[in-house]
Amino acid sequence: MSTARMRAVRMTRWGGPPVLTEVARPIPRADEVLIRVEAAGVCRSDLHVLDARPGALPYRTPFTLGHEVAGRVAERGPGATGPAVGERVVVYGPWGCGLCSRCAAGAENYCDRRADLDAVRTGTGLGLGRDGGMADYLLVPSGRLLVPVGDLPAAQAAPLSDAGLTAYHAVSGIRPTLPVEGGASVAVIGVGGLGHLAVQILRATTSARVLAVDVREEALALADACGAHFGTLLRPDTAEVLRRRADGGVGVDAVLDFVGSRSSLELAVGALRSGGELAVVGSGGGELTVRKPGALPPGVRISLPFWGTRPELEEVVALARKGAVRVETEEFALSSAPEAIDRLRSGRTRGRTVLVPD
């Protein structure tokens, strides 16, 4: 019997373009589950992976891209647990050891054995060193990594597993620090795939004033449609503009930086109130110097949220199912993945690019 084949968009060479090719369709063994992919999101992290220098990331090539995936359970290994064949699911993406206390609590994004896993180059999760979901099928190591989505459309569900989950986790981190009295304000820098969902999640789960910043007018229009109270293009005086817009003119209570470049971090530091909160989500290569006394406002807390927990993925799916979060999508056929990825690179995407079967 010849092995069944399937299409896959592969990372074959560091710095090289994504390659649409054919590979063997995996067969689930033991606890593994095979998913028929119905949608796979394209993330700016895919560009960071494609562009990485050899050795910069602890992954072996080749592997299939795609870390934001929704689909239907197609087949289960004999020991598999969790959703049954035919059930519609999203895939929880940060694959940890599954055994440490963090993983046991559903926080595989902060698996205690990450460094050991990296050392043996087993990858951070699907599409990040391990075969991902820009393909007809995806092999998932365990049913514990699947979250049911019911009748949520696949193109809505897939982006929740990274863009939605990461934004939700970042908002969860700053939410308890926001002042209850006297109107909190939160700046969102970068209103792309993650940022437009952060704006909605802030509106749905806090009473903060949401101030959006981007370098594109279209992104600000999207921020407005998502419920931002104010939007502005990045300009030399933007930090001052944000400070004035915050309650009392003393600076914003929190910044969610979905860019992470030198200019966005400079803006964040300039706009924050003393004792404020900075969550750096974007991997834009910027750096901050921590020194006392130094340029950072006194009392500022900095966090580097990475992806999110499995329970948070369930919460963000629930928000989407009740209509409180809606992903703005641009859909492309799987066979057009290289063009879709190029379009994201050129900065023309509104919301999230999603690949669907063709």
DSSP state of 358: -
Q: Could you say whether residue 26 binds Zn ion (CB under 5 A)?
A: no
The CB-of-219 to ligand NAD minimum distance in angstroms stands at: 4
- The single residue listed with the structure tokens 């992976």 is 49
Beta strands in the chain (DSSP E): 5-11, 19-24, 33-42, 63-64, 69-76, 88-91, 125-126, 129-130, 137-140, 146-148, 185-189, 209-214, 230-233, 252-257, 272-280, 301-303, 329-333, 352-356
Stretch touching ligand NAD by CB under 6 A, among 1-9, 145-153, 257-265, 322-330: 257-265
189 binds, among Zn ion, ligand NAD, none (CB under 5 to 8 A by kind): ligand NAD
**Amino acid identity, residue 217?**
E
The CB-of-18 to ligand NAD minimum distance in angstroms stands at: 15
Stretch touching ligand NAD by CB under 6 A, among 53-61, 131-139, 183-191, 244-252: 183-191
Distances (CA, A) of 64 to 34, 58, 124, 266, 284: 15, 15, 13, 35, 23
Q: Could you say whether residue 131 binds ligand NAD (CB under 6 A)?
A: no
Q: Could you say whether residue 343 binds ligand NAD (CB under 6 A)?
A: no
Instruction: For residues 167 and 194, give the distance between their C-alpha atoms in angstroms, rounded to a whole number.
Output: 6
Using Cβ positions, the residue closest to ligand NAD within the complex turns out to be 192
Residues 44-63 that bind Zn ion (CB under 5 A): 45
Interaction pattern, residues 73-112, with ligand NAD; x per rule: CB under 6 A: ----------------------------------------
Q: Could you say whether residue 225 binds Zn ion (CB under 5 A)?
A: no
DSSP state of 106: T
Residues 259-288 that bind Zn ion (CB under 5 A): none
Distances (CA, A) of 50 to 229, 238, 306, 313, 350: 35, 32, 19, 26, 21
Report the residue number, 167 or 223, with the smaller CB distance to Zn ion: 167
Q: Could you say whether residue 258 binds ligand NAD (CB under 6 A)?
A: yes
Instruction: For residues 70 and 258, give the distance between their C-alpha atoms in angstroms, rounded to a whole number.
Output: 23
135 binds, among Zn ion, ligand NAD, none (CB under 5 to 8 A by kind): none
DSSP state of 128: B
Interaction pattern, residues 218-237, with ligand NAD; x per rule: CB under 6 A: -x--------------x---
**Amino acid identity, residue 233?**
L
Instruction: For residues 232 and 189, give the distance between their C-alpha atoms in angstroms, rounded to a whole number.
Output: 10
Report the residue number, 279 or 296, with the smaller CB distance to ligand NAD: 279
Q: Which residues here bind Zn ion, judged by CB under 5 A?
A: 43, 45, 96-97, 100, 103, 111, 113, 162
Q: Which residues here bind ligand NAD, judged by CB under 6 A?
A: 43-45, 48, 162, 166, 189-195, 213-216, 219, 234, 258-261, 263-264, 281-284, 305-307, 347, 349
